[in-house]
Amino acid sequence: MRLRLVAVGLEGPFNVGQLLRLSENFDVDEVYLVSPVASLSEASRWAARASGRLKNVAVVSSLDEALRGVELSICTSDEASARDVLRTAVTPEEAAEMAASRGGTVALVLGRESVGLTREELRRCDVLSAIPTSPKYTAMNVSNAAAVLLYVLYRQVGGGRRVAEAPERRSLDLLEAYARALAMNVYRDQRDVEEVALSARKAAARASRVEAEALLTLLSKLCSRIGCESRARELIESYSK
């Protein structure tokens, strides 16, 4: 597994510097900054001995660019909700187990200090992980949240624990396409279609490869039976563009 740290729209040089230090602490392979507001030159003073990492930081203009080539993306937010598909969260330990089962690049995605990640940015990620905190004050500083999540990931991967083999990204794309095509035959409201498709993808991302492939087989057969196979293929082609 390769670990990519992605920070979106960071506003303060302190947090940029702290994330660089954490990248050294926990063997992060790549750091991507999406449209940073903070001055990177000022960030070097907060990075201490990790300031050399600045020359290897990838600065990109969109989250899609930062997630290119990623097998699993884990975003974080202090706003978790069992009633909102986008904000249904797993624990850091569960997220770390999913990451440890991947053979490719895993991205940890963090948001802005002021407003975190937008709903559209949350939608771009496979899994949401929320750090348990006191209900009196749920919001954590972005670098503090990164420290907790990176520690849990590092401990899981470094410990060499064996976990079930994870589904490939292609399988997640196919599952989402078949679920969306099926939902389009059942629901009139586009919001319901989006919720079903997103739920299918997120559920599969948490499953083992065997479980995801069994679900994929079922959805593809259902699609074939009710005649939405061509629509699913069109969706699949659009994902690959």
Domain assignment present for residue 163? The answer is: no
Residues 93 and 118 in one domain: yes
- Would you place residue 160 in the very low, low, confident or very high pLDDT band (cuts 50, 70, 90)? very low
Query: pTM to 2 decimals?
Result: 0.73
Reduced to 3 states, what is the DSSP secondary structure of residue 173? helix
Say if residue 49 is in the same domain as residue 122: yes
Query: Which own/partner contact pairs does 138-144 have at CB distance under 8 Å and 24+ positions apart?
Result: 138/78, 138/79, 139/78, 140/78, 141/15, 141/113, 142/7, 142/10, 142/15, 142/19, 142/110, 142/111, 142/112, 142/113, 143/14, 143/15, 143/18, 143/19, 143/22
Instruction: Return the closest-CA partner of residue 5 out of 81, 14, 13, 18.
Output: 18
Q: Residues 37-41: what's their mean pLDDT?
A: 93
Domain check: are 131 and 102 in the same one? Answer: yes
Are residue 198 and residue 120 in the same domain, yes or no? no
Mean pLDDT of all residues belonging to the chain:
90
**Residue 224 is assigned to a structural domain of this protein:** yes
Among 105, 130, 158, the domain-final residue is: 158
Q: Which amino acid is at 32?
A: Y
Quick: pLDDT tens for 210-232.
Answer: 998 999 999 999 988 888 888 88
Asked whether residue 110 falls in the same domain as residue 61, the answer is: yes
Residue 202 domain boundaries = 169-239
Query: Do 136 and 178 belong together in one domain?
Result: no
The reply to whether 9 falls in a domain is yes
Q: Using an 8 Å Cβ cutoff, are 36 and 10 in contact? A: yes
Domain boundary among 124, 158, 192: 158
